[in-house]
Amino acid sequence: MRIAMTYTRLRVEERMLIDAFEDLGADVTPVDLRHVVFNPTTLGDWARYDAVFDRSLSLTNTLTSVRILESLGVRCINPLRAIETCADKLATTLALIRAGVATPEVRVAVESEPGLEAIEQLGYPCVLKPTVGSWGRLVSRVNDRDAAESILEHREVLGSVSHSVVYAQEHINKPDRDIRVFVVGGNAIAAIERRSEHWLTNTARGAVAAGMEVTPELADLSQRAVAAVGADIAAVDLLECPRRGLLVNEINHSMEFRNSTTTTGVEIHRIVAQHTLNIAQAHASQAASDGDIHPVQRACDAPVSGERAGAAGAPSGEGALA
Amino acid sequence: MSTATITATCPECDATVTFDRAPLNGEIARCTDCSAELEVVSTDPITLELAPEVEEDWGE
């Protein structure tokens, strides 16, 4: 199997994945997205690969590349729909609600004044989050009305347009930890708890991770959450609510796991690589039964006019990989 | 028997940065002298630059 692994920064996780692919006998090519020119009308050099595994650290680069590649018929891992849903906290919330997966209550507004009303409907304390963001950046616990007014004013004056959306989430009085479950191919394969004395329990913010058992309840909830967003591979963050039990907080489409393999004893990178190869194999088999030329490629190669057909049907090489 | 050491120079403090195996383009390293976060921008010869600052859209 031939896999392209797109990236913008080669971290420990990406090296672990490259090693895992090679150990499994796959032909893996790391592709630095920062040097790629895409032609949305032709597969070009991307036709060499059975699947593209996205590991870009930049959400913008991920969305740009996967939108184009998926449109050309390339099997991307994760699929665009899953990335778009996981990357946006509101989209995740809506997917979880539709699927009946327990999640903290939220209120949403697009201006500060109704934003304050949204916060007060939930009561204090509550949590304000940018709808797009990671590693706990700009996530605020709002303890009272003064703080709410202050944060909303700061966001209105200093934030980007996207920060004008007020996404207020019920504050969960969890124990000093949250739980992360790694789900690959619909199976919960490992779990960690992330402990911190700070109310934010992101490891990027200093929380300490330790392995824990994947209980049937954790597995069921996490697997249903990942199914709701349509991801092949994802990490589900859960909170323990004293009143309502386990709640799905967020889902990460491009998970970090460098410390979780040793804490859980599970070779997450190897399982991820194997599942990617399984997907690539299935996609390649489907392509072979379709005549080994993807429909998009056929459409691009079809002569629509004398002059244009030559350009659109250019042979591989236009993909301009790194 | 000696093993060839793979090294490069830190662009921030000029110290020697050591790799335990051949790095790939885009790989991140840290200078043990000045703690600068570095990115491999060339592998032949190995050339390092200061790694870009974290962007707003970076994450999981």
pLDDT of residue A133: 83
Read off the pLDDT of residues A183-213 as tens digits, 9 standing for 90 and up.
999 999 999 999 988 888 877 778 899 999 9
Which residue of chain A has the CA closest to B56? A133
Which of these, B23, B18, B21, B20, lies nearest to B42 by C-alpha position?
A: B23
Q: Which of residues 195-214 of A touch B (CB under 8 A)?
A: none
Read off the pLDDT of residues A158-169 as tens digits, 9 standing for 90 and up.
877 777 899 999
Ranges in chain A, pLDDT < 70: 292-322
pLDDT of residue A293: 56
pLDDT of residue B55: 81
Counted across chains A and B, CB pairs separated by less than 8 A come out at: 51
| Cα–Cα distance for residue pair A10/B21, rounded to 1 Å | 14
| Cα–Cα distance for residue pair A258/A83, rounded to 1 Å | 21
Closest partner CB to A59 (pick from B25, B51, B59): B59
Token pair for residue A306?
Answer: 């004398």
Read off the pLDDT of residues B1-59 as tens digits, 9 standing for 90 and up.
445 789 999 999 999 999 999 999 999 999 999 999 999 999 999 999 999 888 888 88
pLDDT of residue A291: 73
pLDDT of residue A304: 39
Q: Residue A10, Cα to own-chain centre: how many angstroms?
A: 17
pLDDT of residue A157: 85
**Which of B41, B48, B60 should one mutate to test binding to chain A, selecting the residue with the greatest count of A CBs within 10 A?**
B60
Please report residues of B whose CB lies closer than 8 A to that of A134.
58-60
Any idea of the CA torsion for A312, A317, A318, A320, to the nearest 10 degrees? 170
Taking the model in full, what pTM does it have? 0.88
pLDDT of residue A302: 45
Read off the pLDDT of residues A212-224 as tens digits, 9 standing for 90 and up.
999 999 999 999 9
Q: Calculate Rg over the CA atoms of chain B.
A: 13
> In this predicted complex, what is the ipTM?
0.81
Token pair for residue A287?
Answer: 């392509």
Q: Are B49 and B30 in contact (CB under 8 A)?
A: no
pLDDT of residue A297: 54
Q: How long a stretch of residues is chain B?
A: 60
Which residue of chain A has the CA closest to B27? A10
Any idea of the CA torsion for A58, A59, A60, A62, to the nearest 10 degrees? 90
